[in-house]
């Protein structure tokens, strides 16, 4: 088995949004648990989304655990035992999709266990503002049960993603070092603007701080506008020697009042931005909110055109 860290001498494609793909398959994610609710009601759809991203050319998919945490499940009527089962199910579904794709194609792909921030549990947009603060032990008390569930099933890497606060990330990394120090992690921040975390920390400082951890193999940003990616990637690339990851939203803009996405500037594809992202120093690329398997397929096609045989063919 090749470790993902050995593949990063060339660009690596990851998946896109879980929520948008689930909604296209008919799932209802309009609830406090968001996509995690589908783990209980229609788990086959979660697996199908992973399968579609692999078919689109993604080499890594992220488990449906961003919003899945024990307190949230309990608050929405599940028992603690059921909560642990559903988190483990999320990992199993991703691994089943990966293994079946490997059996069909011979291509070994990767599964990342998603660790969303405490702000995602609050379900009030705090993962984009960082308007909360806990102690290190409180952060770890929140993250520990989910991390243990993810590790019990096993993943290739951990995705510490959409993180607005540096203090929370450091608490998570210390927890990973306690429970699974050999597990590779990437850290992806949510930003106030292209060079500043939501909590006000300069992006370059945050990147340098987390890159010091031996098991952090990549650092970057996600859930940001397409227009900010190149500058953010260049900032991280200039600050650290490790690979840079970015998976932005599509060109859609979210309206928190109506809870809908619109395209005020028209539909712009992620793939059209790819050359400038690669030139800025990007190694790992994918999509976040409102991106789909189609977007990832276009990225895959464009990566092949730009880098030739360096990108694996999934036809």
Mean pLDDT of the region 303-311: 75
Q: For residue 64, give Cα distances in angstroms to 1, 15, 36, 50.
A: 24, 12, 6, 9
Give residue 314's pLDDT band: very low, low, confident or very high (50, 70, 90): very low
Tokens encoding 213 = 């951890």
pLDDT at 309 over 60: no
Q: pLDDT tens digit string along 210-240?
A: 999 999 999 999 999 999 999 999 999 999 9
Q: Is 185 annotated as a binding residue?
A: no
pLDDT score at 308: 74
Burial of 258 (0-12, 13-18, 19+ CB in 10 A): exposed
Mean residue pLDDT across the chain: 94
pLDDT score at 1: 56
| Domain 4-307 top-level CATH class | alpha beta
Q: pLDDT tens digit string along 21-34?
A: 999 999 998 888 88
pLDDT score at 313: 40
Burial of 44 (0-12, 13-18, 19+ CB in 10 A): exposed
Tokens encoding 28 = 């209802």
Tokens encoding 186 = 């990437």
H helix intervals, 132-200: 136-153, 166-179
Weakest-pLDDT range from 90-94, 197-201, 259-263: 259-263
Q: pLDDT tens digit string along 87-142?
A: 999 999 999 999 999 999 999 999 999 999 999 999 888 999 999 999 999 999 99
pLDDT at 2 over 50: yes
Q: pLDDT tens digit string along 150-172?
A: 999 999 999 999 999 999 999 99
Tokens encoding 183 = 């597990």
pLDDT score at 30: 86
Tokens encoding 222 = 């996600």
Strands (E), 126-276: 157-163, 185-189, 191-193, 196-197, 216-222, 244-247, 253-255, 260-262
CA-CA distance, 311 to 304, in Å (whole number)?
Answer: 6
Choice between 56 and 259, residue whose per-residue pLDDT is larger: 56
Weakest-pLDDT range from 50-59, 183-192, 260-269: 260-269
Nearest to 125 by CA among 136, 113, 117: 117
CB contact burial 5-42 (16+ within 10 A = b; e otherwise): eebbeebbbbbbbbbbbbbeeebebeeebbbbbbbbeb
* Sheet containing 60-62, strands listed edge to edge, beginning at the edge strand earlier in sequence: 12-13, 282-285, 244-247, 216-222, 185-189, 157-163, 110-115, 60-62
Helix, strand or coil, per DSSP, at residue 222: strand
Q: pLDDT tens digit string along 179-191?
A: 999 999 999 999 9
pLDDT at 58 over 70: yes
Q: State what percent of residues in the chain have pLDDT above 90.
A: 86
**Is 38:76 a contact under the CB 8 Å cutoff?**
no
CA-CA distance, 54 to 31, in Å (whole number)?
Answer: 27
pLDDT score at 266: 66
Give residue 20's pLDDT band: very low, low, confident or very high (50, 70, 90): very high
DSSP string across 37-58 = HHHHH-HHHHHHHHHHHHHHT-
Report the length, in residues, of the chain: 315
Give 156's contacts (C-beta < 8 A, 6+ positions apart). 3, 4, 60, 110, 111, 112, 184
> Domain segments of the chain: what residues?
4-307
Mean pLDDT of the region 264-279: 87
CA-CA distance, 142 to 83, in Å (whole number)?
Answer: 13
């Amino acid at each position: 088995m090749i470790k993902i860290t050995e593949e990063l001498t060339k660009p690596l494609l990851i998946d896109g949004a879980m929520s948008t793909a689930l909604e296209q398959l008919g799932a209802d994610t309009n609830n406090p648990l968001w996509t995690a609710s589908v783990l209980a009601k229609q788990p086959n759809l979660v697996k199908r989304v992973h399968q579609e991203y692999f078919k689109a050319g993604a080499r890594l998919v992220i488990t449906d655990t961003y919003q899945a945490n024990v307190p949230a499940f309990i608050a929405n009527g599940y028992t603690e035992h059921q909560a642990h089962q559903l988190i483990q199910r999320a990992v199993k579904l991703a691994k089943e999709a990966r293994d079946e794709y490997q059996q069909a194609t011979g291509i070994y792909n990767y599964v990342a266990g998603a660790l969303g921030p405490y702000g995602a549990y609050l379900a009030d947009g705090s993962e984009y503002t960082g308007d909360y603060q806990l102690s290190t032990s409180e952060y770890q008390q929140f993250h520990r049960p989910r991390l243990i569930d993810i590790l019990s099933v096993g993943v290739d890497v951990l995705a510490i993603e959409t993180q607005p606060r540096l203090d929370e990330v450091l608490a998570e990394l210390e927890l990973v070092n306690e429970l699974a120090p050999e597990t590779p992690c990437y850290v992806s921040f949510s930003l106030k603007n292209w060079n500043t975390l939501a909590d006000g920390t300069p992006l370059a400082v945050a990147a340098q701080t987390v890159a010091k951890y031996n098991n952090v193999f990549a650092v970057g940003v996600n859930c940001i506008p397409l227009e900010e990616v190149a500058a953010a990637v260049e900032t991280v690339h200039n600050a650290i020697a490790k690979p840079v990851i970015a998976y932005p939203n599509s060109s859609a803009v979210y309206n928190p009042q109506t809870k809908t996405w619109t395209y005020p500037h028209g539909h712009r594809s992620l793939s059209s931005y790819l050359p400038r992202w690669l030139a800025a120093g990007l190694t790992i690329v994918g999509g976040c909110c409102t991106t789909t398997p189609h977007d990832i397929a276009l990225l895959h096609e464009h990566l092949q055109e730009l880098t030739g045989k360096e990108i694996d063919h999934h036809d």
